Structure 1
Amino acid sequence: MNFKKMKLYVKYMVSLRCKMLVKEELKNLGLHHTSVELGVVEIMEDLSNEQRAKLKAALLESGLELMDDKKAMLIEKIKIVITEMIHYNDELPKVNYSEYISKMMDYDYTYLANIFSEVKGVTIEHYIIAHKIEKVKELLLYDELNLTEISYRMNYSSVSHLSTQFKKVTGLTPTFFKNLKDKKRINLDDV
């Protein structure tokens, strides 16, 4: 049997729980997936208009969104690359982030950066910084690494650079944040 694979792009899909929800909805519609990754789903069938509408409605109920617009799909792919790079790797790439994103996306970085800024109203660099700070918060909460180790792991040039960026984004020093009783983290969907 020769299967044709179809790719679907799902917005706000940033966790294992999201992947499980998508798999469940595909199963409910009798659709077979070959892979379900953050933001990208490969299925073995072509979707009928009715199936697409049902999947879109079911995903919306779970806070996810099936995407159609080409620019929106490109933006979502960029966000997935950044999210995976920062939150799901043990170490950040040692190359320049623009080179990494360009290589992973197989597009010219300037093109990606322009579309991202146009659609999101924020630069890719600021988006990366916001995600890095959320990862730093997570690492501070785990309390397994000291600030020097976190700084090194997150590719900051120094603890001072990390602290300055952390304070600029959160208004707090990393040490003050770590000592707060009610620590505030932002949902990855909202970064």
Structure 2
Amino acid sequence: MTNIIYIKNMVCPRCVNSVAFILDKLKISYGIIKLGEVYLEEELDEYTKKLLKEELRNSGFSLINDRKSQLIEQMKTLVVDKIHHSNEVLDIKWPEFISEKLHLDYKYLSSLFSAVESITFEQYIINQKIERIKELIIYNELNLSEIAFQMNYSSVAYLSNQFKKITGMTPSEFKKSTNKNRRSLDEI
């Protein structure tokens, strides 16, 4: 029987490596580690679970115990994975995608997210997209038209308006600024 544990703040491949290191250090047998999830090969006893919580906390992660928090973390992980760790054009219908992946009604998930996180799920997605756009601007590999296409904006003007609304500056002002004000994905 596979036992799944959910871990908050696993937002990148380095996080997966860090969690694997912690599990190896504690001699906890696992199968697969994905963003936010670890498939354990056996159930943890209370002492080991306490040690794991402590090690995770020391590395900026936390074990998630309740079902609602697990759902929210899964929603966040799906968004981060699609926006930050995929090279595909972001042509996605979030309500259908999230419902399909979590096998629950989108209205329920969206309401739950808003109640717990104090922002809407849609705003969370926008915030993640803006952070990705900042990253793409800094890399300077794509022009704004290509970024708009990659992030599935209908136009450069729409991307620029949303970017300014969130950051207080246009993409070109951001590119010229010396203070790039990027946020860690787990802080969004």
Interval of TM-score (by shorter of Structure 1 and Structure 2) = over 0.9
**Is 2:17 the counterpart of 1:7?**
no
Instruction: Structure 2: state its 5+ residue gaps.
Output: none
Q: Of 58, 65, 87, which residue of structure 1 is paired with 2:84?
A: 87
How many angstroms apart in 2 are the aligned matches of 1:175 and 1:93?
A: 22
Would the aligned equivalents of 2:7 and 2:36 in 1 still touch at CA under 8 Å?
A: yes
Which of 136, 160, 164 is the equivalent residue of 1:163?
Answer: 160
- Letter aligned with residue 133 of structure 1: I
1:11-64 per-position Cα deviation (integer Å, ceiling 9, x unaligned) = 011122211121111112211111111100011011001111110011001110
Q: Report what 1:130 is aligned to.
A: 127
Output aligned runs, 1:41-190, within 5 Å.
Answer: 41-190=38-187
CA distance in 2, matches of 1:17, 1:157: 33
Q: TM-score, normalised by structure 2?
A: 0.97
Cα displacement (A) at 1:180: 1.1
- Range moving further from structure 2, 43-52 or 94-103: 94-103
Work out the CA distance in 2 between the residues paired with 1:80 and 1:107: 16
Q: Which residue of 2 aligns with 1:19?
A: 16
Contact kept? 1:133, 1:166, Cα under 8 Å? yes
Q: Say whether the 8 Å CA contact 1:85–1:92 is kept in structure 2.
A: no
Alpha-carbon distance in structure 2 between the residues aligned to 1:126 and 1:94: 17
The answer as to whether partners of 1:29 and 1:55 remain within 8 angstroms in 2 is yes
Residue 92 and residue 127 in structure 1: after superposition, are their counterparts in 2 closer, same or farther (change >3 A)?
Answer: farther
Moved more, 110-119 or 92-101: 92-101
Percent identity over paired residues: 42
Count residues in correspondence. Answer: 188
Amino acid at match of 1:12: N
Aligned-pair Cα RMSD in Å: 1.0
d(CA) in 2 for partners of 1:124, 1:60: 26
